[in-house]
Structure 1
Amino acid sequence: MKKIDLKSCNLEELKEILTSLGEKSFRAKQLFKWIHEKLIEEIEHITVFSDKLKEKIENEYYIGNIKILKKFESKLDNTIKYLFLLEDGNIIESVRMKYKHGNSLCLSTQVGCKMGCEFCASTKEGLVKNLSPSEILDQVYKIKKDINEEISNIVLMGSGEPLDNYDNVIKFIRLLNDKDGQNLSNRNITLSTCGLVPEIYKLAEENIPITLSISLHSSFDAERRKIMPIANKYTIEEIIDATKYYINTTNRRVTFEYTLINNVNDRKEDAEKLSELLRGMLCHVNIIPLNPIKESNLITSNYAKEFKELLTKKGINATIRREMGADINAACGQLRSDYMKY
């Protein structure tokens, strides 16, 4: 019988497990705190449990434990990129970015990705699997232990499409926010999606005040379809409508990610159309200079400053993302891709 990973269980599920083993339900809160607050990695390390209870738990359950396989530290800005080895042998990556306000982590939610965006390295080999809540959480826990510092912000923008792994990602967010665990504010969590319209509506109804980030990357459907296959399923108009619903339901400002690509989406008419699409919305545009990957012929645009100024003149709040960790390998998914080849 396959053992169940306790790190993916919420408090109610732990109560059911402990009572099924003949224990009082208060033991579940103890177990939860030892896993998610004290960050223990083995059941045997829970000192408030008797040896007999630990043995009973270990017969059917375990605590998931990913391992740091490699890490790369930037000499430019203290960015650290991690390669993690999962228990099933798969490899994922995460990034720690150091800012004045604290440590921000960019996490993976899947091994690989099936969205097929032309400029993204993590999607080139397709989707391998969804990560469990435990495997997403453990990226946070392992990095926190490694740097011995608190984590202030989480960005679900690493390998994978978070809304394509909807249930596990929502459970991860709720576990990370739990007052008996890391108690990280939902307002400090950003979820990035390439625009899965039904899931955006669903997310709005969750009543979780996270920040939603939409990877738009083009103002025109025809151009967007060339670089983002998801555009064949959902139009920009459908994405904008879903985003407006999200804003009206949550009263949270949404970010639109816009990777600037030379001669693809960096023209004056692109900026003007984008301004028209976003006029009056509670939103912000994050302009991202393209990080070229070996698997694509797309190149970086030199018009980021001009593009931002065009948006600003039209009344759209916009910033240019600062490149982090430029000396330790660049694009999302590229570390894993390079490692797997050797």
Structure 2
Amino acid sequence: MKKTELNSLTLEESKKLMLDLGEKSYRGEQLFSYFNRNKEVNLDKINLLPKKTRSVLMEKGYVNKIKIIKKFESKLDNTKKYLFALEDKNIIESVLMIYPHGKSVCISTQVGCRMGCEFCASTKEGRVRDLTSAEMLNQIYLIEKDIGENIDNIVLMGSGEPLDNYQNTLRFLKIIHDPKGHNTSYRNITLSTCGITPKIYDLADENLPITLSISLHSPFDSERRKIMPIAKTYSIKELIQAVKYYEKKSNRRITFEYTLVEGVNDRKEDVEELSDVLNGLKSHINLIPLNPIKEYNKSRPERNRVEEFKKELEKRHIKTTIRGEKGTDISASCGQLRRDYIEGNK
């Protein structure tokens, strides 16, 4: 009989579990808060629970634990990169970034990724498996315990495609937001997706006002298909229709991630088409100069070309920023450090 992963339970599920064990529902609150407010994982030490209850919990359930195996600290900007070992020995990574507006953590949602975007290091070995919600949560909790401070903003943009692990991601969002636990505002959470269109509709219908970030990278279907396999399934027109539905339901501005690749998507016609594609949307474009990897033989544009691309978009009344690079001395881009570590330990 499969055991229950106790630290992946929502508050209501924790209460129901305790009622099923013949306990009062408030015991479920104690269990939930122990994991998600106290950030603890040792069932033996929940002294609020009777010893007999703890024994039954250990018999019927288990706690999914991860551990920090390596930490890299940038000498340039205080960015920290964490490598975590999962119980099955798989490796995942997270990044802590310090900004004037607070501390942000970018977490992984899968071991690897199967989306196959050409310029992304995290997808080169494919998807190994989904992360459970506890494995997502504990990336944040372990980083908070390591730095002795709480995280202000959470970004689901590390290794993996969150909407390809939809149920665990949704559970993670509800747990991290719960006032009895970490109590993170939905408005402080960003979910990045390459564009699994049906799941964008599903997420919109959940009515969780998180920020949706779309990896667009080209306004032309023909070019987008070359660099993003998902574009062979869902056209830009279909993607934008889903995004408009999400915008209407959430009343939130949509962010579009746009990795600039020299000679591929940094041309005048790209600016013009982007303006047409985003017409009528409350949107913001985040320009990302390409971070080259050995498997993708393309270059980033020169800085002045990036600035010019930004100006051309702003002339068309599209709010645009250029993402500041973080942790360049510690391979802080998605998947790079994990791959380097795995290859170095073969």
Tell me which interval the TM-score lies in, with the shorter structure as reference length: over 0.9
Give the match for residue 175 of structure 1. 175
Give the match for residue 44 of structure 1. 44
Provide Cα deviations, 1:49-68, integer angstroms capped at 9, x if missing partner. 22222111111212221000
Give the match for residue 152 of structure 1. 152
**Aligned partner of residue 77 in structure 2, secondary structure:** coil
In structure 2, how many angstroms separate the alpha carbons of the residues matched to 1:299 and 1:109? 28
In structure 2, how many angstroms separate the alpha carbons of the residues matched to 1:217 and 1:143? 31
Give the match for residue 210 of structure 1. 210
In structure 2, how many angstroms separate the alpha carbons of the residues matched to 1:223 and 1:243? 20
TM-superposed CA distance for 1:331, in Å, is 2.5
Worse overlay, 264-273 or 56-65: 56-65
Q: Could you tell me whether the CA contact under 8 Å between 1:108 and 1:136 is conserved in 2?
A: yes
TM-superposed CA distance for 1:170, in Å, is 0.7
TM-superposed CA distance for 1:207, in Å, is 0.4
TM-superposed CA distance for 1:15, in Å, is 2.0
TM-superposed CA distance for 1:21, in Å, is 2.0
**Aligned partner of residue 330 in structure 2, secondary structure:** coil
**Aligned partner of residue 281 in structure 1, secondary structure:** coil
Give the match for residue 339 of structure 2. 337
Give the match for residue 286 of structure 2. 286
In structure 1, how many angstroms separate the alpha carbons of the residues matched to 2:128 and 2:89? 12
**Aligned partner of residue 38 in structure 1, secondary structure:** coil
1:311 aligns with 2:317: no
Q: Could you tell me whether the CA contact under 8 Å between 2:314 and 2:320 is conserved in 1?
A: yes
Worse overlay, 288-297 or 202-211: 288-297
In structure 1, how many angstroms separate the alpha carbons of the residues matched to 2:30 and 2:335? 37
Q: Could you tell me whether the CA contact under 8 Å between 1:112 and 1:127 is conserved in 2?
A: yes
In structure 1, how many angstroms separate the alpha carbons of the residues matched to 2:4 and 2:298? 44
- TM-score by length of structure 1 reads 0.98
In structure 2, how many angstroms separate the alpha carbons of the residues matched to 1:245 and 1:60? 42
Give the match for residue 28 of structure 1. 28
**Aligned partner of residue 336 in structure 1, secondary structure:** helix
In structure 1, how many angstroms separate the alpha carbons of the residues matched to 2:23 and 2:280? 56
For structure 1, which runs of at least 5 residues remain unmatched after alignment? Answer: none
In structure 1, how many angstroms separate the alpha carbons of the residues matched to 2:14 and 2:221? 47
Give 1:270's aligned amino acid. Answer: D
In structure 1, how many angstroms separate the alpha carbons of the residues matched to 2:267 and 2:168? 39
For structure 2, which runs of at least 5 residues remain unmatched after alignment? Answer: none
Give the match for residue 73 of structure 2. 73
Aligned length: 342
In structure 2, how many angstroms separate the alpha carbons of the residues matched to 1:330 and 1:117? 18
- TM-score by length of structure 2 reads 0.97
**Aligned partner of residue 237 in structure 1, secondary structure:** helix
Q: Could you tell me whether the CA contact under 8 Å between 1:213 and 1:257 is conserved in 2?
A: yes
TM-superposed CA distance for 1:2, in Å, is 4.0
Q: Could you tell me whether the CA contact under 8 Å between 1:93 and 1:107 is conserved in 2?
A: yes
TM-superposed CA distance for 1:136, in Å, is 0.4
Identity of aligned residues (%): 59
Provide Cα deviations, 1:85-117, integer angstroms capped at 9, x if missing partner. 001111100000011121100010000111000
In structure 1, how many angstroms separate the alpha carbons of the residues matched to 2:2 and 2:40? 21
Q: Which runs of 4+ in 1 moved over 4 A?
A: none
